[in-house]
Amino acid sequence: MIKLRFSKFFITNLVGTIIDTIVIFIFKKWVFHSYFFVYIITPAIGFEIAVINNYTMSFFWTWKDRTAKTRNAYLKNFLPYNLTVVSVFGLRLLLILIISKTVKLDVIYCNLIALVFTGLLNYWGLNKLIFRKNVESNISDH
């Protein structure tokens, strides 16, 4: 079951990464041009758009056996999910900055490298904290 769940997590996050990368590309090319906006604001915008997608896929697909399929449960669990992934995002943002200053790569490549490291941490946090087994608030909210 863990291999299947991790595969679903990987696919979910791959879709989120594609969304995130497209947003970063669009904002970098046509919206923002200063370092602060390209390397700080743009990844934050792409991240939050991807979070909404990833949460929806996680709730209804990746961890569907651990969630109640109600609007109330969906909304109730979004904030803890978002706080967990925002914490991991903080680490990702720090890695983007370190990588960009150290090896002078474009923000898109820095982002992808940072995602490799933070993706594993994110899986652990979601599996153990948000979508853990036998959580009353997740499965009894009918």
Quote the CA–CA distance of 59 and 27 in Å, as a whole number: 28
Q: For 32, left (φ over 0), alpha (ψ -120 to 50), or beta? A: beta
pTM: 0.74
Res. 14: pLDDT tops 60: yes
Band the pLDDT of 35: cuts 50, 70, 90.
confident
User: What tokens does 101 get?
Assistant: 């200053």
State the pLDDT confidence band at 134, using cuts at 50, 70 and 90. low
pLDDT of residue 132: 83
Written as six digits, the tokens of 95 are 């890695």
pLDDT in tens, 100-119: 999 988 888 998 899 888 98
Specify the residue for token string 């399929």. 69
Q: Where are the beta strands (DSSP E) in the chain?
A: none
How far apart are the two ends of the chain, measured CA to CA in Å? Answer: 25
Instruction: Express each pLDDT in 46-86 by its tens digit.
Output: 989 999 999 999 999 999 998 888 899 899 999 999 999 88
Q: Tell me the percentage of the chain whose pLDDT exceeds 90.
A: 46
Q: What is the pLDDT of residue 108?
A: 85
